[in-house]
Amino acid sequence: MAKNTGNKRIPVKHVRDKAKAAYDKKDHCYICGTGEDLELHHFHSITILLDVWAKVNKYDISTDEGILAVRDEFIAEHRTELYDLVRTLCNKHHVNLHKIKNGMV
């Protein structure tokens, strides 16, 4: 049986929820220019950044309370990765980019 870690949500979702309000999502895909089905692509995986940051700082983000206590600090220290190193892509190009990135193409 799975152990209950006290986390109802994965930690990165709490970060994204807070950071989302300040995202500067463009009105067209960076690759093809369409205005349909747009998504934001981060150059750096927010999940990996968060996990490494928490480990280095010895923060316990295994509970909702733990991640909520340090979320603002993480966002402040990673403004560039969260807000500048991003592109708006249509779903088709976003999915294809991740396929290439993961060696599936």
Total residue length of the chain = 105
* Integer Cα distance of 17 and 43 in angstroms: 18
What's residue 2's pLDDT?
A: 39
Per-residue pLDDT tens for 40-93?
999 999 999 999 999 999 999 999 999 999 999 999 999 999 999 999 999 999
> Which residues have a Cβ under 8 Å from the Cβ of 14 and sit 6 or more positions away?
64, 67, 68, 71
pTM above 0.75, yes or no: yes
What's residue 101's pLDDT?
A: 73
* Integer Cα distance of 20 and 31 in angstroms: 22
Q: Domain-by-domain residue ranges, the chain?
A: 11-101
Dihedral sign of CA atoms 37, 43, 48, 50 in order = negative
